[in-house]
Structure formats: structure tokens, C-alpha cells
Chains A and B, each alone.
Chain A
Amino acid sequence: EAQVTQNPRYLITVTGKKLTVTCSQNMNHEYMSWYRQDPGLGLRQIYYSMNVEVTDKGDVPEGYKVSRKEKRNFPLILESPSPNQTSLYFCASGGADRIYGYTFGSGTRLTVV
């Protein structure tokens, strides 16, 4: 089944403790992206990657890092999480012709206390 898999689905952590949210897709998509969703603010892009070893900042990159060492994986790294990073996070992937839309993962709900 074609899908984008995120892990974990839920995570509660403490301020300052480094964490990684994994994202993997099995569709051989070139394009991958991370979004955060907060009430009233819609989907805001954090980082995206056009292909392996190619990443770029989205609208809200501060406090986040990403890497794209393999085509299928695009982990999101929070080096020192803070409470304002409490949010619902989505990973998405798309083919070379992204006008056909993205496929989204099921989301990771992160709480930083």
C-alpha cells in the first residue's frame, strides 16, 4: 500500500530533550515536506526537500532541522524542544510533478512540557 509513515503518533517530552520524528514513504517520491498544524493557523511548512541531499526552509523553520540522506526518509529533528513547538506535525511526499498533490502521513502529536 502506498503510504507515508510517521512515528511516533503521540509524543510527550520535556523542554530541551532532543527528539526525532521519523517519516518514510514507499512511493519513490522525490519531494518530501514537513508541516505543523495549529488551531486557526492552518498548515505551515517547516522544511521541504526536492530530492536526496537537497533541503530548504519553509515558512517556520526556526528550532527544527531535517536531513535527506535517502530518498524514502525525511526525519524532523528538534535539537532543544520548547513548549511553543507543541503542535500536530505532518509529513508529506509528492512525485516530481507535484501538481498531482501530496500524500500525507497520519500525523504526530507532540507535547513539550
Chain B
Amino acid sequence: GQQLNQSPQSMFIQEGEDVSMNCTSSSIFNTWLWYKQDPGEGPVLLIALYKAGELTSNGRLTAQFGITRKDSFLNISASIPSDVGIYFCAGPPRGSQGNLIFGKGTKLSVKP
């Protein structure tokens, strides 16, 4: 089946550093979603992207819909300890009847 590949799998950074992560697919997506999962909780939607090339921000988070429509990127600027968690990309592949598939996640650790 179709898959979303996220990288890196994990990151260990110092507080204040910027973070970049990405998500790629072998097939085209018309929507990209980015979720964050805090430890012990369910994933929460951060940013939704609907158009190739689109750049959308949510506070210190910025996500981009790749122009090939096969990738997306998430950046976090000036990281803080509460950014810790797992970040998932997701999207509805073509022919899925709207069902979402998720990447395996990027686990972010922030050292104060």
C-alpha cells in the first residue's frame, strides 16, 4: 500500500535551536496534514496544507506543501521544552475514499 516516509526518525536538540523534518511519498497527495502527539496523549492537528507550494504558519511552526505534491516539510523555530513529542505527517492518498494514512513519526527531544 501507499506509505508516507518521515525523516528523521528522531532528533535530539538543544533548546533554542531550529528544527526541520520532512515527509515523502511515492504518490501524489492533494492534502498534507501535520500532527503533534504529546507524551501520553492523542495526536493533535497542527497545520493543514491544501495547495502545492503553500506555506502555512502556526506560531513558531511553519509547514510547506512540496511543489511535486509528493512531499511536505515542517520547521520549528527557536525550540522550547514543550515542543517535545512525536510529529506525524498524514494525508488522504488518491482512491482512499478520504481515509488518512500516517507516517511513522519524528520523535523530538529538547534539552533545556
Determine how close the nearest CB of chain B comes to the CB of A38; give it in whole angstroms: 10
A104 CB, min distance to chain B CBs, angstroms: 3
Contact between chains at B44 and A42 (CB < 8 Å):
no
For A103, list chain B residues within 8 Å (CB): 45
Q: Nearest-CB distance from B101 to chain A (Å)? A: 8
Instruction: List A contacts of B50 (CB < 8 A).
Output: 99
Per the 8 Å Cβ criterion, residues 44-87 of B in contact with A are 44-45, 48, 50
B105 touches A42 (CB 8 A): yes
B98 touching A106 by the CB < 8 A rule? no
From B9, B40, B98, A98 is in contact (CB under 8 Å) with B98
What's the Cα separation between A106 and B40 when bound, in Å? 8
CB distance from B43 to the nearest CB of A (A): 5
Contact with B along A54-78 (1 / 0, CB 8 A): 0000010000000000000000000
- Which residue in chain A gives the minimum CB-CB distance to B42? A104
Interface string of A71-113 (1 = CB under 8 A from B): 0000000000000000000101010011111111111000000
The closest CB in chain B to the CB of A41 belongs to B104
Would A105 and B99 be within 8 Å (CB), given that A59-B1, A99-B31, A99-B48 are in contact?
A: no
Chain B interface, number of residues (Cβ within 8 angstroms): 26
> Which positions 83-108 of chain B face chain A at CB distance < 8 Å?
88, 90, 92, 97-105
User: Is B21 in the interface zone, CB < 8 Å from A?
Assistant: no
Complex Cα distance A90/B104, Å? Answer: 15
B98 & A31 in contact (Cβ 8 Å cutoff)? yes
Cα A83 to Cα B42 in complex, Å, equals 23
Q: Is the CB of B92 within 8 A of A98?
A: yes
16 further A-B contacts with Cβ under 8 Å, apart from A31-B98, A50-B97, are A4-B42, A33-B99, A33-B100, A42-B105, A43-B43, A43-B105, A99-B30, A99-B31, A99-B98, A100-B48, A101-B45, A101-B48, A102-B45, A105-B42, A106-B41, A107-B42
Q: What are 16 A-B pairs at a CB distance below 8 A?
A: A4-B42, A35-B102, A42-B88, A43-B88, A45-B101, A48-B99, A59-B1, A97-B98, A98-B92, A99-B30, A101-B33, A101-B48, A101-B90, A103-B45, A104-B44, A106-B41
